[in-house]
Structure 1
Amino acid sequence: MDEKKKSNKGLFLALLFSVAALGVALVLCATIGKGFGASNNSSSKENYISAEKVQRQVKKILNLDEVKTVYDAQYQSTVKTRLEAMKKDYVCTFEEPLFVMNPFGTNVTGMYVYFKTSEAVNVEYTVSVADISIPEYTKTLYTDEDGNVVKKHEGQIIGLIQGKINTVTMRLYSDDGKFVGENTFKFDVPDYGTIKETELKVTNKQDSKKLSDGLFVIYGYDRRNTNEPKHMLFYDNDGVIRAEIPLAVTNGDVNMEFIDGKMFYACTDSSYALVNQLGQVESIYNTEGYTTHHDFDYDKENKRVLILATKKKSKSKQDIILSLNMSTGGIEEVIDFGNLMPDIKKGAVITADAPDREKIDWVHFNSIQVINGKHLILSSRELSSIIRINNYYTMPKIGYIISDSKIWEGTKYSSLVLKKKGTFTSQAGQHSVNYVTDASLKNGQYYLTFFNNNYAQRLSYPDFDWSFIKGAGTQNKDVDNSYYYKYLVDEKKGTYKLVEKVKVPYSSIVSNVQEYNGNRVICSGTAGVFGEYDKDGKLISKFKTKVTSLIYRVQKETMDGYWFN
């Protein structure tokens, strides 16, 4: 048997016995090449392994009746072992790369690719389909954190479209940017039935070139629709889906962090995954005894993740702060807000309108930010308050509260409310508070940006009088707008001031804002829309989804240093 036949047959057999993700297929594509650096515009017939056939092999290899989740250490290690065997046993060149569709099950259309070149190069690729409404998508394959040229190329090709024949053209460039050669491959990607909208409706109000580079990440797409798969969705500036991370969550699909170059996110309601650039889950962290919700933030100084949580055995909800030690995997309850504000919790009740009739939702935290590894900024929807906690890990204490002062009148916390500087309406039912620093600010000053829902509700205190919040929506009446708010906080003076306000579509609950590369990304969740605005608050592009309920949040990420160089 000649070497080429041996290579192709061996790879095919190896793929048969490799582990694949649920609902996806493995793909081997061998091209007719002309040697390293040659241009090739044709491709040979692809070999496909069906999802059903691969799943049968998965169950046989692992001796399982069914694969319940890809977020399993044994599952992930088995896939890694098979990939390493294929890489070692068979020659993978630029002419005949090894392609595997989503082997680890963490990116539905992420195409794993591996090959070697005789000289160190970078790899740029373009994904295109025969659909004029879907533009080409061009990126540079990730190599390492510094983007160095390499001889071994291993990563994920991002941007493939389900239900289409995808043409992928890979181009090689030397360290000085000189073009070396290219090769073209075609992949007939199945429709896995997981994406409702390949393309979002996009309305451009300004020059779309003003959009920042990156992918919009949608969290909680149609969250309350039980028929909708749970996933994080990545859309480009044209509103085209480019990646999908499957999850098994209820309220935890709210955020992602990059920790030491790896992606960290909630994969279930009580566990988190740390995933490398290839899509392999390297670690799974459990929060036994607690369910997580709404948000988390990485404390880089102490290598901890601070998590909003609910104690399963508690009669109250969404009032616990957990600390996850990334080194040991251990969790620790660092704050029980029932101990910090016992009188407020004691006065709360469960009303007929409460979504949970078993637990009291008296504070309802929806965002958390770590400051200098010592302090926290928390957003409480139920109290329409932004609360700072000092020394969160050693001796937690309320540092201040930002809200309309009338919310805290007659309580022992009224002296902690910062003074409003200027004439404006304070926030009502806010979400997604972000701590933003600026070198031009004085000591003790910083910005807080957030989505002001402009929604006055406090279900745990049903008789609370909200009449002092003028123009806000209520449970019985929607209003026209919510707002992007930016406060300047001066801790030394004990004041907060509204310095930026952008009118956005109304959303009574959920939603978020993000300052990103000079622009503002703003999601109005119940309206199912998000947009990118310039620094002056002018809409650049608006993206409309077809959700039946809501989207939870949208943030933008370049994904450089992870999927791309």
Structure 2
Amino acid sequence: MAFKDGDDMGSNSEGGRLFSRRTALAGAAGVLALAGTGLMGCSAVGAGANDASTASDELTDEQKKLYKQIVATYDVEKQATIKERLDADCAACSYSETAPFVKADPFGTDTLSCYVRFATTDPVTVSYKVAGRKKTGDAPKVAAFSRTPRGGDTPSAEHEFKVIGLIPNHKNTVALTCTAQDGTSRTSTFTIETPALKGEEEEQLAVTAGESNTPLADGLFTILGNDSSKLDFMYLYDNTGQIRGEVPIIGYRSHRLLFPGDGSMIMSVSTTKMAQINAIGQVVNVWSTGDYELHHDYAFDDDGNLLVLASHAGSEADLDIDRAAAKDKGERANVEDLIIKIDVTAGNVSLVVDLGDIFPDLKASAKVASDGDLDWIHINTIQWLGGGTVLLSSRETSTVIKLTDIYGTPTVDWLMGSPDFWAGSGFEDKLLQAQGDFSLNAGQHSVTYLPSTDTATTGRYQVLLYDNNFGAAKSYPKFDWGQLGAAVVTDYSKGTHSFGRIFTVDEAARTYELVDQIAVPFSGYVSSAQRVGDSNSMLVASGRPRPLPSTIAMDFPSPPTRWKPKSTSTACTSTSCSARLRLTS
């Protein structure tokens, strides 16, 4: 089986990709022509192993009740019981296309969905359309929403699928179209009532059109989590800004969406749990990270197992750091310097790489933060290249790292970072040499490996990343990050632009050069950039910019001449700029 991560919607492994990803994604939420994968977080906060006991004190009694239901949602045995009941209900009666079995979100994995099942007398393909809504009072107009469910394009007489895109708090009319093999079709309808949204997100976002002649793909923008002190969800919005999906998670955020190729979707649902949701919405696997906390990226290896960036969450004896500077020595250190593996078959968790073993002197030189954390390297992206090789992004050192043989003897192949920072480290010979005059990447996120057809023979490929363009690290307060270049911001309050950047790496020559970049609203932390499929477009998400969070899509190679952030939307005015939603938080 070929495993591809969401990043492969075509981009980082964030396997795959970054905050938003554009490609045909047939996952647990149905067919998603666009999904978002966001490496949007920097600290591991949220529900841990004892999920039911970690509900925030800020929750109302009703929210606490809902939180317990969400925790129970990610119980595989309970999900299997729900499926058995559905099977029994369907077996008890004969359901046809004109009278299908319909159940609103039976698995609790998407508020705006329903489970549909029926049989036909002949093999047919199936599609559906969710009727729109006229503007009434304060309720805005909503357009119709059409999709072909997973498997719906293959003729069959047995049909079981998930309808997505329902309008919240509304009696939805859904039209089913069955097309026979001779090309004739027939349509029937059913109605299904949906509840109000469970979270506090907006039902409708503002959209500002750009000037590009390239139309948007008919997909969904996915917001991977809201890091709320209350309840957490993953949201899906269509191109008009209408919400089409609300996926409850236990806490934190779903950093990346991975797709094994069987119609299921794998994502994080808390700081200590990964879950697999199949195409009908059933949670079929949940893996615990045990004594580790996930820190915001993961990818498949060649065997389909999960490589997860993590921090120690177990015994303080495991931490191996000097905590003398900590104000509260009882606090857990969140070092974000590990790669663990989850065996998806056995569920076993094992430590693969401890970056402290590779860079011990660097770790020893780092300053412990006042809260007791030693965030000395802060790995925020992992990209699987195959054969035991990975690309990592280290925010704290403003360096992209290539490691080989991670399952054997992990070895640094190259570093893309500042020679000044790495001077005297013993790794000077691993530095790629920058070709040309440009400021170096500073605090970057979401590194994506983009090989070409001749990469295997030439050793040349491209690396796409979100360059936060913010030179700062609490672990190394004495280093002058202004040495990274004149464009690098060292005072957060003065930041104006971050960048989506593409570099060409030549491993034979041990060099790299900047081949393209687009200036985007400043975001000193988090954020991501990804190429849209195999196109010349880049989708960029600014997670903590000034003045507000935004998502902007741009076409290479011409950067926009200007951009104008607005209070409710993002305008990107250029012949090379496409319209996208502003995703505010």
Q: How much does 1:293 deviate?
A: 1.3
Q: Give unmatched runs, 5+ long, in structure 1.
A: 1-58, 60-64, 548-565
When the two chains are superposed, the root-mean-square deviation of aligned CA atoms in Å is 1.9
SS of equivalent residue, structure 2 residue 173: strand
For 2:48, the equivalent position in structure 1 comes to none
Q: What is residue 480 of structure 2 aligned with on the other side?
A: 465
- Asked if 1:164 corresponds to 2:170, the answer is yes
Q: What are the superposed Cα offsets for residues 92-145 of structure 1, whole Å, 9 maximum, x if unpaired? A: 11111111111111112121000111111111111123235422211112227x
Deviation at 1:185, TM superposition (A): 2.4
Q: Does 1:351 align with 2:369?
A: yes
Structure 2 match to 1:54 = none
In structure 1, the residue matched to 2:553 is 532
Letter of the structure 1 residue corresponding to residue 360 of structure 2: P
What do the CA deviations read for 1:275-325 (whole angstroms, capped 9, x no partner)?
1111111111111111111100111x2222110001113245100100111
Letter in 2 for 1:265: M
Residue 467 of structure 1: SS of its match in structure 2? helix
Equivalence for 2:343? 325
Distance 2:434 2:197 in 1: 53
1:269 Cα deviation (Å)? 1.2
Which gives a bigger RCO, structure 1 or 2 (Cα 8 Å, sep 6+)? 2
Name 1:137's counterpart in structure 2.
145
Match of 1:543 in 2: 581
Distance 1:480 1:187, change over 3 A: same
> Unpaired runs of 5+ in structure 2?
1-64, 136-140, 320-332, 560-575
Pick from 477, 483, 486 the counterpart of residue 493 of structure 2.
477
C-alpha distance in 2, partners of 1:76/1:287?
20
**2:538 alignment counterpart:** 520
- Check whether the contact 2:171–2:194 (CA below 8 A) recurs between aligned residues: yes
Partner of 1:560: none
The answer as to whether partners of 1:127 and 1:168 remain within 8 angstroms in 2 is: yes
SS in 1 for 2:421: helix
AA partner of residue 379 (structure 1): S
CA distance in 1, matches of 2:277, 2:433: 44
Alpha-carbon contact 1:208-1:541 (below 8 Å) kept: no
Further displaced range: 449-458 or 408-417:
408-417
Aligned partners of 1:367 and 1:431 also within 8 Å: yes
CA contact (8 A) 2:239 2:580 kept: no
Q: 1:235 to 1:380 in 2, by over 3 A?
A: same
Give the letter for the 1:140 counterpart.
Answer: T
> Residues of 2 paired with 1:546 and 1:273: CA distance?
26
Aligned residue for 1:87, secondary structure, equals: helix
Select 1:202's aligned residue among 203, 207, 212.
207
Instruction: Name the CA distance, whole Å, in 1 between partners of 2:195 and 2:69.
Output: 22
Q: What's the counterpart of residue 244 of structure 1?
A: 246
1:395 aligns with 2:409: yes
**Residue-by-residue CA offset, 1:399-431 (whole Å, 9 max, x unaligned):** 110012222123211221100011111110000
1:190 CA displacement: 2.1
SS in 1 for 2:363: helix
Aligned partner letter, 1:201 = A
Query: How far apart are the structure 1 equivalents of 2:98 and 2:397?
Result: 61
Change (3 A) 1:546 1:372: closer
Say if 2:70 and 2:250, in contact at 8 Å, map to a contact too: no
Paired amino acid for 2:377 = V
Whole-angstrom CA distance in 2 between matches of 1:187 and 1:394: 54
Match of 1:377 in 2: 391
Whether the 8 Å CA contact 2:199–2:232 is kept in 1: the answer is: no
- In structure 1, give the amino acid aligned to 2:238: D
**1:207 Cα shift?**
4.5
AA matched with 1:459: K
SS of residue in 1 equivalent to 2:471: coil
Q: State the match for 1:192 in structure 2.
A: 197
Q: Distance in 1 between matches of 2:288 and 2:88?
A: 30
**How far 1:175 sits from its partner (Å)?**
3.2
* In structure 1, C-alpha distance between the alignment counterparts of 2:181 and 2:538, rounded to whole Å: 35
* Pairs within 5 Å for 1:38-57: none
Q: Deviations over 1:483-517 (max 9, x none)?
A: 00011111111011111101111111111111123
Q: 2:434 matched to which residue of 1? A: 420
2:462 to 417, 425, 447: 447
Taking a change above 3 Å as real, the CA distance of residues 476 and 130 of structure 1, as seen in their structure-2 partners, is: closer
More displaced 10-residue stretch of structure 1: 340-349 or 183-192:
183-192
1:371-390 deviations in Å (ceiling 9; x for gaps): 12320100000000000001
Cα separation, 2, equivalents of 1:481 and 1:67: 39
The size of the alignment, in residue pairs, is 472
Matches within 5 A, 1:75-474: 75-131=78-134, 133-143=141-151, 147-175=153-181, 178-207=183-212, 209-221=214-226, 223=227, 225-227=228-230, 229-250=231-252, 252-261=253-262, 262-299=264-301, 301-312=302-313, 313=315, 314=319, 315=333, 317-352=335-370, 357-441=371-455, 443-468=458-483, 469-474=485-490
Bigger Cα displacement from structure 2, 132-141 vs 361-370: 132-141
For 2:148 and 2:525, how far apart are their aligned partners in 1? 38
Cα–Cα, structure 1 residues 320 and 121, in superposed 2: closer, same or farther, change >3 Å?
same
| SS of match in other structure, 1:69 | helix
The normalised TM-score by structure 1 is 0.80
Could you say what secondary structure the match of 2:73 adopts?
coil
Contact 1:480 1:505 in 2 (8 A): yes
Q: Which runs of 4+ in 1 moved over 6 A?
A: none
Give distance in 2, aligned partners of 1:159 and 1:475: 43
Residues 477, 471 of structure 1: CA spacing in aligned structure 2 closer, same or farther, 3 A cutoff? Answer: farther
Q: Which residue of structure 2 lines up, in the alignment, with residue 5 of structure 1?
A: none
**For residues 21-40 of structure 1, what are the alpha-carbon distances to aligned partners after superposition, in whole Å with 9 as ceiling and x for unaligned?**
xxxxxxxxxxxxxxxxxxxx
SS in 1 for 2:111: coil
Cα separation, 2, equivalents of 1:142 and 1:260: 11
Identity, % of aligned pairs? 29
Query: By how many angstroms is 1:67 displaced?
Result: 7.5
Displacement after TM superposition at 1:179 (Å): 3.5
> TM-score normalized by structure 2?
0.77
CA distance in 2, matches of 1:141, 1:201: 28
Q: Which amino acid aligns with 1:248?
A: I
Cα distance, 1:66 vs structure 2: 7.2
Q: State the SS of the aligned residue for 2:481.
A: coil
